[in-house]
Amino acid sequence: MAALRDRPRGTSIHLTYGVHVWTRRTLAEDLLNAVSRRLDTDPALREALPLGVDPLDAATTATARAALHESILAALDDVEDDELAAVLARRARSAARAEPLDVLAQHAAAAAPAELPWRVRAGLSARWVGATLVTRLGRLELAEDEAALVADVLGGERPPGSLPEDLRRRLVLGGVLVPAAPAP
């Protein structure tokens, strides 16, 4: 009890469940990083200040600030909403994890018959770059016709067991598909 009584006021104990809260501050940080990248490509901003300038003089910094203001606003206006959303999506994907996987059982399941019930592994955050499936686990290059089949599976329009055996096996070994029931 003495430890609780001697605890400094204003502190708290909490448990984190891994739920990420995205704030306007998070968006502002990503937006300012995008603006900074654009400013890096502006040759006018790499020019030296005039010789003899007094960096301690407020009038000098005010003049420099006014000149920078226009460049910063132009860079800010140049950032597209899609770019900002993509940065936040990358942040969200990197913050979460895919469903745990028993690697040895998964390897054994890859040799299981197609009749075994399969499902898409939870938490993949799958997206497409052309015919390449990109997930938290990595990239899986597919032929165009395979990509269409896998897209149907990911969208719930086709059961995973209906995939050609070699494609199903590659998805199982890649951790995209898992047995819906424990492997025999």
* pLDDT (tens digit per residue) in 144-175: 999 999 999 999 999 998 999 999 999 999 99
Does the pLDDT at position 41 exceed 60?
A: yes
C-alpha 60, offset from chain centre:
42
Q: Which of 55-69, 90-104, 127-141 has the lowest mean pLDDT?
A: 90-104
Confidence (pLDDT) at 153:
94
Per-residue CA distances from 157 to 119, 150, 163, 179 (Å): 12, 10, 12, 18
Quote the pLDDT of residue 96. 72
Name the token pair of 86. 């993509």
At 183 the pLDDT is 47
The domain spans of the chain are 24-95, 103-179
Question: If you average pLDDT over residues 99-112, what whole number do you get?
Answer: 82
The fraction of the chain above a pLDDT of 70, given in percent, is 87
Q: For residues 176 and 103, give the distance between their C-alpha atoms in angstroms, rounded to a whole number.
A: 12
pTM over 0.95: no
Average pLDDT over residues 57-71: 85
Q: Return the pLDDT at 97.
A: 75
Report whether 180 contacts 117 (CB < 8 A).
Answer: yes
Most confident of 12-21, 34-43, 113-122: 34-43
